[in-house]
């Protein structure tokens, strides 16, 4: 999938405006000329400049290029299904990770993705469980990221 530069520029412009709006609420530090909003503001201004250049380029190319061009993979049922499975897995994690916990959600997501990618059925569940445990250990123990436990709160290690 390919987007016209004007579409990408408009998205970047919206992001930059959101950043500027957000940093307007940052408090000033008394006695300091440089506060917490200076560097994000500078980056947002540079992002606006890049966005305007992209929009300009996209508008000059718009007579020869479509706003959105679908890739060849969108015509493949296999690739489209895998794309939709990925989106569904992300939405599932957002909705279910707090009540169910990372271990159950991670296992379910990996199992669904392995199934979609035609991994041998006998390996789907063992791989999903093992990889979820490795990821959990690395993030929870090694990097100290507080992953949700959900219904498995009693097993917290």
Are residue 48 and residue 96 in the same domain, yes or no? Answer: no
Give the number of other Cβ atoms within 10 Å of residue 46's Cβ.
11
Are residue 60 and residue 86 in the same domain, yes or no? Answer: no
pTM beyond 0.85, yes or no: no
Give the end of a domain, one of 69, 97, 128: 69
The pLDDT of residue 88: 98
Q: Report the interhelical angle of 121-136 vs 102-116 (nearest 10°).
A: 140
Are residue 65 and residue 76 in the same domain, yes or no? Answer: no
Are residue 48 and residue 92 in the same domain, yes or no? Answer: no
Are residue 34 and residue 89 in the same domain, yes or no? Answer: no
Are residue 76 and residue 149 in the same domain, yes or no? Answer: yes
User: What dihedral do alpha carbons 45, 51, 57, 61 form, nearest 10°?
Assistant: -170
Are residue 44 and residue 115 in the same domain, yes or no? Answer: no
Residue 51 lies in domain: 2-69
- Any idea which residue has 């990770």 for tokens? 97
| pLDDT in single tens digits along all 157 residues of the chain | 678 888 999 999 999 999 999 999 988 888 888 888 899 999 999 999 999 999 999 888 766 677 777 788 778 899 889 999 999 999 999 999 999 999 999 999 999 999 999 999 999 999 999 999 999 999 999 998 999 999 988 776 6
Are residue 82 and residue 50 in the same domain, yes or no? Answer: no
Are residue 77 and residue 116 in the same domain, yes or no? Answer: yes
- Any idea which residue has 């919206």 for tokens? 14
Work out how many domains the chain is built from and give that number. 2
For residue 67, give every residue at least 6 positions away whose Cβ sits within 8 Å of its Cβ, in sequence order, or none: 3, 4, 6, 7
For residues 16 and 22, is the Cβ–Cβ distance under 8 A?
Answer: no
Give the end of a domain, one of 40, 69, 98: 69
């Amino acid at each position: 999938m390919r987007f016209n530069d004007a579409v990408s520029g408009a998205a970047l412009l919206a992001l930059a405006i959101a950043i500027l709006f957000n940093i307007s609420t940052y408090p000033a530090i008394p006695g300091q000329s440089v506060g917490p909003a200076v560097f994000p503001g500078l980056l947002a201004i540079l992002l606006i400049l890049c966005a305007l250049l992209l929009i300009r380029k996209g508008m000059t190319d718009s007579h020869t290029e479509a706003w959105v061009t679908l890739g060849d993979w969108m015509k493949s049922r296999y690739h489209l299904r895998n794309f939709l499975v990925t989106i569904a897995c992300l939405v599932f994690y957002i909705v279910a990770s707090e009540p169910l916990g990372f271990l159950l959600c991670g296992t379910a997501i990996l199992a669904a993705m392995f199934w979609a990618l035609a991994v041998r059925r006998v390996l789907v569940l063992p791989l999903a469980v093992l990889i979820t445990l490795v990821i959990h250990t690395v993030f929870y123990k090694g990097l100290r990221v507080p992953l949700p436990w959900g219904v498995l709160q009693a097993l917290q290690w």
